[in-house]
Chain A
Amino acid sequence: MESRRVTKTLEDQWMVERQVREIYDYFYSIPPNSQSVIRPWLCYWILHSITLLGESVDAGLENDAIDFLTRCQDKNGAYGGGPGQMPHLATTYAAVNSLITLGSPKALSSINREKLHAFLLRMKDPSGGFRMHDGGELDVRACYTAISVASILNIVDDELIHGVGSFILSCQTYEGGIAGEPGAEAHGGYTFCGLAAMILINEVNRLDLPRLIDWVVFRQGVEGGFQGRTNKLVDGCYSFWQGAVAFLIQRLNLVVHEQLGLSNDLGTESDDSSESELSAEEEHLEVTSSHVQEICPPQEGQENASDTTKIADTGYEFINRPIAMQPLYDSMYLQQYVLLCSQVDGGFRDKPGKGRDHYHTCYCLSGLSIAQYSWTDEADSPPLPRDVFGLYSRNLVEQIHPLFNVELDRYYEARKYFSCL
């Protein structure tokens, strides 16, 4: 039998068949049962995405979501992956962020903060880090999720943060990024977790920031998107994990310059500017304290609120710092990757060839927000059209708080609510 020559007709058909088969394989490979432990994550990914698009859910859905998350709340504090499941730090983070995104007093008051605080203490490990659940794994993710919820709910204390900084520091690798555990490979997800946690506990100066910056800027690939690790492939979700690292750096210029030995060594110009920047920072701290007193008039017998703001309000103090550095990565090119390569009809994906999912939709949109707002000087002003890829009116998303990844106004509301408690 003569061998068949591969003609254009055959090639065209086979290419379509291959793509269709990939879609079906992918669809059938997601076992629905495995979603049973991540429903609070699904809530967060979906609610956060909706919010970033400038929409909100109706009262009925909001009530159902609050009811469901309350059923995920363990009687001894914190949230599991579903009703009746053991509480877990990741699903706790997702549940808390979901409720803050919903934002009503009903949503916020449903969180049992005292019990959650007790849970966090139980998850604390002698090494200083946290375990994800009772008898669970110990890594930088756990540190971030614990510190993030403690901070945003105003239940941080010395016992919780003790030793966390040393653990995270031990996870910064020779490459400059941060790994999940000491010795492991520098990775975008863990680098975000580590950096954000260090900022929240006010120990970011312990990290080698110039090394970290050098690593993260090289994580932007020729495609415009970010990769998670050196020599790995681009993935839309790293638009947030890595993009946020670069974005956080923009408010850390004081610390970075100090680490570079700049404010000490090079002439009077930088000395002056560092002095004035320092007093600006001090000003911010004062503003923070007085702001708290404004929104929470001191009650009889209550001690001065300004002491507790120093630990508990790092998130607020951070977002009110001016952005003193331009973005060191190419933010337009990142937006281009997200919108042209990750976006598919109604949703976002890892990269062309993969299917859309709620996780990627959430983190691509979050990364888009980061990139669009990376030149904005004040926390409240809108981006300029030149900094937004594509049609401004259609593509502009809402602004996030980069330490917690909740929409910024929702963050302010939650802060107001929990500050007085």
Chain B
Amino acid sequence: MDSSEEKRTRIPFKERPDWADVKPVPQDDGPCPVVPIAYTEDFSETMDYFRAIYLANERSPRALQLTAEAIQLNPGNYTVWQFRRVVLEALGVDLHEELKFVDRIAGENTKNYQIWHHRRWLAEKLGADAVTNELEFTKKIFSQDAKNYHAWSHRQWVLQALGGWEDELAYCQQLLEDDIYNNSAWNQRYFVVTRSPLLGGLAAMRESEVNYTVQAIRASPENESPWRYLRGLHKNDTQSLVEDSQVASVILDVLTSNNSHVHALSFLLDLLCHGFEPSQELKSAVDVLTPQSCSPDLALTKRVCSILELADPMRVKYWNWRKSTVPVQSATCQNTDRLADLCARMSDL
């Protein structure tokens, strides 16, 4: 039954015989309410009856029906949803039926916190039974809006609480084939790679993931998502990042191309701060990009910042601040110097 049919056939509560014993409770808005809402009559009446049932804490089949009507009039009413959960539990209703109810409401309301929360509550109760349905449901949402935040949170919760990881990496792959710029899909990929019990964890997946990411970067060097993902892959292991030849190679390739250099330079800057020793080729590529105004004696890290100040002018203040906070030498150089210094002092003793 669509909503216009429902409106035509709606019988006011005051005319329903099975509600005759209930005294509706009007909203206590006071004499001069601010931000008053122009409620429809249907809405006012339904909520007056809801208030009566809610205050009486009545957990009956008719209360359940009433919450359904109230929700249809305003799916954002969290008080009604919470009370509905209380009634569902008290009545021991088959929650598979409830899932169908939520599906019907969800159609127009893909960004409603209450509906998603209710779905989560239901899925938790239904357990492993619910996995396929919830994964299918979120997939359907993504076919319309591949970045729906609530849907992604829900999908992640389902995977962690109930399982279903088998096809998730492949699903991320497909979404990224559809739209390589979809940052939600990249985030999900990270989620799968780091948390799936079927994959062995980040360290085990790193090499193949770096491979994949580098390809994505080559295809779209101006795309911020894979660059951040690449950083994320080496999160607690900067040593592996600094030593990864694939990374050095893609940076060199981007810097010697006609594409946007900003992310490559930014990544190079981070690498240098972690002690990366650039090849002669890479240093030459940076030389080519260095503005004439830059002193040739300026340390490499600071030169990269200078290039970025010009290449990414909106963030000039950020690059300027990076320039003032980067180590002048790479960390390994510093350590070598300190060691040499220490040896020299010891030999004096």
User: A62: nearest residue on chain B (CB-CB)?
Assistant: B34
Binds B, one of A75-83, A148-156, A386-394: A75-83
B99-127 CB contacts (< 8 Å) to partner A: 113, 116-117, 120-121
The reply on B218 being an interface residue by CB < 8 A is no
Q: Which residues of B contact A86 (CB under 8 A)?
A: 78-79, 82
Q: Mark B26-54, 1 if CB is under 8 A from A, else 0.
A: 01111011110111100100010001001
Q: Mark A240-261, 1 if CB is under 8 A from B, else 0.
A: 0000000000000000010010
Closest CB in chain B relative to A243 CB, distance in Å: 14
B28 contacts A183, CB within 8 Å? no
B325 contacts A64, CB within 8 Å? no
Q: List 5 A-B contacts (CB under 8 A).
A: A37-B79, A173-B190, A174-B228, A231-B183, A329-B317
A43 contacts B34, CB within 8 Å? yes
Q: Mark A36-70, 1 if CB is under 8 A from B, else 0.
A: 11110011001000000000000001001101100
Q: Given A86-B82, A174-B231, A32–B184 Cβ distance below 8 Å?
A: no
Interface centre among B38, B73, B187 (most CB of A within 10 A): B187
The distance in angstroms between the C-alpha atoms of A30 and B116, with both chains bound, is 20
B187 contacts A82, CB within 8 Å? no
The distance in angstroms between the C-alpha atoms of A61 and B77, with both chains bound, is 27
Interface centre among B40, B82, B156, B318 (most CB of A within 10 A): B318
Q: Which residues of A contact B33 (CB under 8 A)?
A: 64, 68
B34 contacts A81, CB within 8 Å? no
The distance in angstroms between the C-alpha atoms of A229 and B79, with both chains bound, is 31
A266 contacts B317, CB within 8 Å? no
CB < 8 Å: which of A37, A67, A134, A333 contacts B74?
A37
What 10 additional pairs, Cβ within 8 angstroms, besides A35-B35, A36-B37? A36-B74, A37-B74, A43-B34, A83-B29, A84-B54, A86-B79, A174-B228, A184-B152, A184-B156, A214-B266
Q: Which residues of B contact A88 (CB under 8 A)?
A: 78
CB < 8 Å: which of A31, A68, A222 contacts B29?
A68
CB < 8 Å: which of B28, B182, B232 contacts A231?
B182
Closest CB in chain B relative to A173 CB, distance in Å: 7
User: B328: nearest residue on chain A (CB-CB)?
Assistant: A266
The reply on A157 being an interface residue by CB < 8 A is no
Q: Mark B264-305, 1 if CB is under 8 A from A, else 0.
A: 001000000000000000000000000000000000000000
Q: Which residues of A contact B28 (CB under 8 A)?
A: 71, 83-84
A207-239 CB contacts (< 8 Å) to partner B: 213-215, 217-218, 220, 222, 229-232
Interface centre among A36, A65, A83, A327 (most CB of B within 10 A): A36
Q: Given A71-B30, A174-B235, A183-B195, A85–B73 Cβ distance below 8 Å?
A: no
The reply on A175 being an interface residue by CB < 8 A is yes
A174 contacts B314, CB within 8 Å? no
The reply on A353 being an interface residue by CB < 8 A is no
User: B43: nearest residue on chain A (CB-CB)?
Assistant: A33
A220 contacts B195, CB within 8 Å? no
The reply on A330 being an interface residue by CB < 8 A is yes
Q: Which residues of A contact B113 (CB under 8 A)?
A: 132, 137
B182 contacts A81, CB within 8 Å? no
The reply on B147 being an interface residue by CB < 8 A is yes
User: A87: nearest residue on chain B (CB-CB)?
Assistant: B79
* Chain B interface, number of residues (Cβ within 8 angstroms): 65
Q: Which residues of A contact B224 (CB under 8 A)?
A: 218, 230-231
* Chain A interface, number of residues (Cβ within 8 angstroms): 66
CB < 8 Å: which of B30, B35, B74 contacts A46?
B35
The reply on B327 being an interface residue by CB < 8 A is yes
Q: Mark B325-347, 1 if CB is under 8 A from A, else 0.
A: 10110000010000000000000
User: A180: nearest residue on chain B (CB-CB)?
Assistant: B153
Q: Which residues of A contact B116 (CB under 8 A)?
A: 137
CB < 8 Å: which of B75, B121, B195, B315 contacts A217?
B315
A136 contacts B32, CB within 8 Å? no
A183 contacts B191, CB within 8 Å? yes
Q: Which residues of A contact B314 (CB under 8 A)?
A: 220, 222, 329-330, 333
A33 contacts B149, CB within 8 Å? no
Which 9 A-B residue pairs are closest in the complex by CB-CB distance? A174-B232, A230-B183, A185-B187, A42-B35, A83-B28, A86-B79, A328-B318, A33-B74, A64-B32
A218 contacts B39, CB within 8 Å? no
B327 contacts A218, CB within 8 Å? no
Interface centre among B32, B40, B79 (most CB of A within 10 A): B79
Q: Mark A102-138, 1 if CB is under 8 A from B, else 0.
A: 0000000000000000000000000000001111110
The reply on A262 being an interface residue by CB < 8 A is yes
A34 contacts B232, CB within 8 Å? no
A180 contacts B74, CB within 8 Å? no
User: B25: nearest residue on chain A (CB-CB)?
Assistant: A84
Q: Mark A326-353, 1 if CB is under 8 A from B, else 0.
A: 1111100100000000000000000000
The distance in angstroms between the C-alpha atoms of A68 and B31, with both chains bound, is 9
The reply on B306 being an interface residue by CB < 8 A is no
The reply on A181 being an interface residue by CB < 8 A is yes
The reply on A25 being an interface residue by CB < 8 A is no
The reply on B223 being an interface residue by CB < 8 A is yes
A43 contacts B35, CB within 8 Å? yes
The reply on B225 being an interface residue by CB < 8 A is yes
